[in-house]
A and B are shown apart, each in its own frame.
Chain A
Amino acid sequence: MKLIIFILSLTSITACSELGVKPWERNVLAKPEMSLDSTPLTSALDDHTYFSKEASSGGRGFGGGGCGCN
């Protein structure tokens, strides 16, 4: 049930064409610190630590954001 709601909300996001910027307006998004995983080494270290001390892991994704070049 939760899954169905989630998928429906995903499809509604893509219907929002109000959101977004022009290809030349990505100067801020192109900054390394604005990347969704801006420090992959340290986030991997953290994930490893929490995985070995807690019962949950992962979930984080990547892809998207950034300069959107090419």
Chain B
Amino acid sequence: MKKHKKITMALAVATSSLMSVTPDVHAEESADIGDWDIDAAVLYYTESDRVSAFEPVISAKKQIDTDESISLKLTLDSLTGPSANGAVPSINPQTFTRPSGNNGYTTSANETPLDDTFKDTRIAFNASWEQALTRMTRLTLGGNISNEYDYLSLGLSAVVAHDINQRNTTFTTGVSFANDTIEPEGGLPTAFGVMQPSGTLQPRQTDSDDKTIFDVLFGVTQIIDKDSLFQVNYSYSQADGYLTDPFKVISVVDGVIGLPIIEDATTNLSQVVYENRPDSRAKHSVFTQYKRNIIGDVLDVSYRYMFDDWDINSHTLDFRYRLKTSETTFWQPHLRYYQQSEADFFRPYFISGQHPGEGTDNVYATSDYRLGEMTTYTVGLEYGEKYHDHGWSISGEFYLQSISEPTKKVGQLVQQELYPDVDAFMLRFSYDF
């Protein structure tokens, strides 16, 4: 079975190098000097009829002195199942060529075309070291490496936290840098190259390419009173290099009847062109979080606003309420609301004759729903037990992605749903000792 690298999943590791830094130590939870504090979790994610992921993770933290610690984390990510390739559904069955170029796959009539060459395992390793530089200043250095069959990501980060006002106010500054190399089987497609029948030469440019991501974060944490605190962060992310999803395609359809053009009649291959994204992306985010203790319960709300130079802006609202049901047990309902606007180069499909020519690098288009206008909802519930030397929790969440359907469609596309809702279930189990 040909492997199909999942770039976007792997991208997450690179940009999360700042996020993998360990948080402040807490008395009840912290190990004594010399002990290893172990945390483990496993996520099972499954979309209806689409991709599934199984992701175990384990981390270990050791206190070297009361102001110095190291932390190690290992993550495995196993992905299976099909996902949308970006082409439109049709009243007729369609055929597409697999990324390797060696064989093809078919889509039934009136079904969203899904590429099922999706089996990949990613392994990621993070290490970080935290040390107090002065009584009021702490430095955390981190590194991470992530590897898939044909993808390698390397990242470094440094975060400095400085307290003032008897540690009631904390200023955090962080920078991270990552380099990702992509070398998919069959090579990278040419921008707007036309997919060819399996067994023939595919439009490819190079074997591999890379991208660099630079992140910087400024944050302020403020204690309000004995029971509450809040945080406000600003972060900036700059990505440069190959940012396209190499295996997403855009359908070319007839301008009147809306049927996909047939590229090759003998194999019933639909005419699709490979997408092309800009080679740079600048993102700005403002994030704020508030936590409050309410007679043993904990309220946790956060809001993030993001805008970038692809014309995408988003709002994320997250709400959690940890209900203390006894000294050792809790329930935690969770609600998340997310809304994003579409990228300015979002194109659900091309009308025949209107797509850019093969190799046009400076024009951009994608039909990938993840860059489209969408609203997502997450509803979850967690149950956990916490003892002085160990604890565990289990949670189940429903995640619904509701993507906006294009308003003006041609021909048979009017009857089709180009972007049906994607619903997923997430089951998570965690254990610490």
Contact = CB atoms under 8 A, between A and B. Distances in A.
A and B in direct contact, judged by CB atoms within 8 A: yes
Interface of A: 2-3, 6-7, 9-10, 13-14, 16-17, 19-23, 25-45, 47-70
Interface of B: 6, 8-9, 11-13, 15-16, 18-29, 39-41, 43, 45, 53, 55, 57, 59, 66-67, 73, 75, 77, 132, 135, 138, 159, 161, 163-170, 172, 174, 215, 217-227, 229, 231-235, 237, 283-287, 289, 291, 293, 298, 300, 302, 304, 306, 308, 310, 312, 314, 316, 322, 330, 338, 340, 343, 370-371, 374, 376, 393, 395, 399, 401, 422, 426, 428, 430
A40 to B, nearest CB: 6
Nearest to A2: B286
By secondary structure, the B interface counts as strand
Nearest to B312: A55
Contacts of A37: 23
9 tightest Cβ-Cβ pairs between the two chains A and B: A64-B221, A20-B168, A64-B170, A59-B287, A61-B219, A63-B161, A68-B167, A59-B285, A63-B172
Contact of A28 (B6, B40, B227, B302): B227
B111 to A, nearest CB: 21
A22 B220 CA distance: 19
A58 B215 contact: yes
Contact of A31 (B28, B159, B219, B338): B28
Contacts of B287: 59-61
A10 to B, nearest CB: 5
Contacts of B399: 49, 53
B222 A34 contact: no
Contact of A14 (B169, B174, B310): B169
Given A34-B293, A60-B287, A61-B233, A52 B338 contact: no
B12 A47 contact: yes
B304 A35 contact: no
Nearest to A43: B19
A58 B235 contact: yes
Contacts of A70: 66-67, 132, 135
A64 B237 contact: no
A58 B166 contact: no
B26 to A, nearest CB: 5
